[in-house]
Amino acid sequence: MSKPRIFITRSIFPEVIERLRGHFEVECNPSDEVMAPQELAAALRDKQGVYCTPTERMSAEIIAACPDLKAICNMAVGHNNIDLDAATRAGIMVTNTPDVLNETTADFAWALLLATARRVTESEHWLRAGKWDKWRIDTLLGVDVHGSTLGIIGMGRIGQAIARRSMGFDMQVIYHNRSRLSPELEAKANQARLVGKEELLRSADHVILTLPYTAESHHTIGAAELALMKPTATLVNIARGGIVDDAALIDALHAGRIAGAGIDVFENEPRFHPGFLGLSNVVLTPHLGSASAPTRKAMANCAADNLIAALTAGTPPNILNPQVQKKG
């Protein structure tokens, strides 16, 4: 019996490709360039499975052009690059890679929080520019993290991992989420307390965004929300571009309406608003939340596990649309 045919959209770890070859006829994008939609549709037309990353838009049009497709396996926990409704209507299983990246992404949120609050990258640029002539009482003063109030918007598994780390900093945690955590999970998340979004923005000294990008979460933080924050507050976005209105954030940072921001994800990335570059009170990183070597390998293997299970048994472990199982 011939093996199912799959397509891998970007360069991934060679050992993961080898694993997949054990189960499938594998075709790979020969370069690591993001494929144009027509190219992608052409590559997927005769495939049963696609192993994709957040850079591919698996749109309703592409899905409609690929009648043989049975599984779309994303190498990411976020899946706003995939039209889940269109895939579900077409009977295509969609999977993501939850859990394996929680701790690494939480570490990175903390890296951005600390770097923003204590002005780490700004200080380094200042030093490298030869501006350090002597110690002064007021050089590059930051804001404190320890003993402050941390506000987390989006209290899923990554949000909870961020909250747990705040115990060592003797912080209070408040959170805003669609639903309340169980008392056990709230206790583990440093006694986190559910509050409304407005209260969170007014009370938090540091706000971290970890919610998924959807039509509802578009511009969760815009000019009105930034105006509610304390002038000494910081904002960290490790979730997705589009959750923050970048132009409004740039205005707020420029005007000193908040103390600083740590931003890992951008509207229209990898392009980003040029206004960020003129600001010293922002730490900018290129979508690195999950980017440790062990975690990227775990994500790559998790996506492979999903694809193997989807096309061999029809029951992938991390299915996002369980109403679709075992097509064909």
Distance CA 220, CA 224 (A): 10
CA geometry: angle 217, 218, 224, nearest 5 deg: 95
Q: Minimal CA–CA distance to 56: which of 71, 40, 78, 38?
A: 40
If binding means CB under 6 A, how many residues of this protein chain bind ligand DGY? 7
User: Is residue 299 within 8 Å of 76, Cβ to Cβ?
Assistant: yes
Residue with the two structure tokens 């005769």: 46
User: Is residue 140 within 8 Å of 119, Cβ to Cβ?
Assistant: yes
Enumerate the active-site residues. 240, 269, 287
User: Taking the complex as a whole, how short is the minimal distance between the CB of residue 216 and ligand DGY, in angstroms?
Assistant: 18
Q: Check residue 77 for interaction with ligand DGY (CB under 6 A).
A: yes
Q: Check residue 154 for interaction with ligand DGY (CB under 6 A).
A: no
Out of 54, 156, 242, 262, the only residue in the binding site for ligand DGY (CB under 6 A) is 54
Nearer CB in complex with ligand DGY: 7/213: 213
> Does residue 98 have a cis bond before it (omega within 30 degrees)?
no
Measured at CB, which residue is nearest to ligand DGY? 78
Q: Check residue 101 for interaction with ligand DGY (CB under 6 A).
A: yes
User: Taking the complex as a whole, how short is the minimal distance between the CB of residue 240 and ligand DGY, in angstroms?
Assistant: 7
User: Taking the complex as a whole, how short is the minimal distance between the CB of residue 78 and ligand DGY, in angstroms?
Assistant: 3
User: Taking the complex as a whole, how short is the minimal distance between the CB of residue 123 and ligand DGY, in angstroms?
Assistant: 27
Number of helical H runs and strand E runs in the chain: 12, 12
Q: Check residue 306 for interaction with ligand DGY (CB under 6 A).
A: no
Out of 20, 44, 76, 233, the only residue in the binding site for ligand DGY (CB under 6 A) is 76
User: Taking the complex as a whole, how short is the minimal distance between the CB of residue 10 and ligand DGY, in angstroms?
Assistant: 12
In 146-238, at which residue ranges do the beta strands (DSSP E only) sit? Answer: 149-153, 172-176, 193-194, 206-209, 234-237
99: alpha, beta or left? (left if phi > 0; alpha if psi -120 to 50): left
Q: Check residue 78 for interaction with ligand DGY (CB under 6 A).
A: yes
Nearer CB in complex with ligand DGY: 27/305: 305
Out of 9, 290, 301, 321, the only residue in the binding site for ligand DGY (CB under 6 A) is 290
Nearer CB in complex with ligand DGY: 101/115: 101
Nearer CB in complex with ligand DGY: 13/169: 13
Q: Which span (74-82, 134-142, 189-197, 216-224) binds ligand DGY, by CB under 6 A?
A: 74-82
**Two tokens, residue 158:** 């990554």
Catalogue the long-range contacts made by 163-169 (C-beta closer than 8 Å, 24 or more residues apart).
163/189, 163/190, 163/192, 164/106, 164/188, 164/189, 164/190, 165/106, 165/107, 165/110, 166/190, 169/145
Nearer CB in complex with ligand DGY: 74/116: 74
User: Is residue 234 within 8 Å of 177, Cβ to Cβ?
Assistant: no
Instruction: Please report, for residues 10, 198, 265, 326, the alpha-carbon distance to residue 219 in angstroms, rounded to integers and kept in the order given.
Output: 29, 14, 13, 37
Nearer CB in complex with ligand DGY: 157/257: 157
User: Taking the complex as a whole, how short is the minimal distance between the CB of residue 112 and ligand DGY, in angstroms?
Assistant: 14
Out of 16, 289, 302, 321, the only residue in the binding site for ligand DGY (CB under 6 A) is 289
Q: Summarize as ranges the residues that interact with ligand DGY (CB under 6 A).
A: 54, 76-78, 101, 289-290
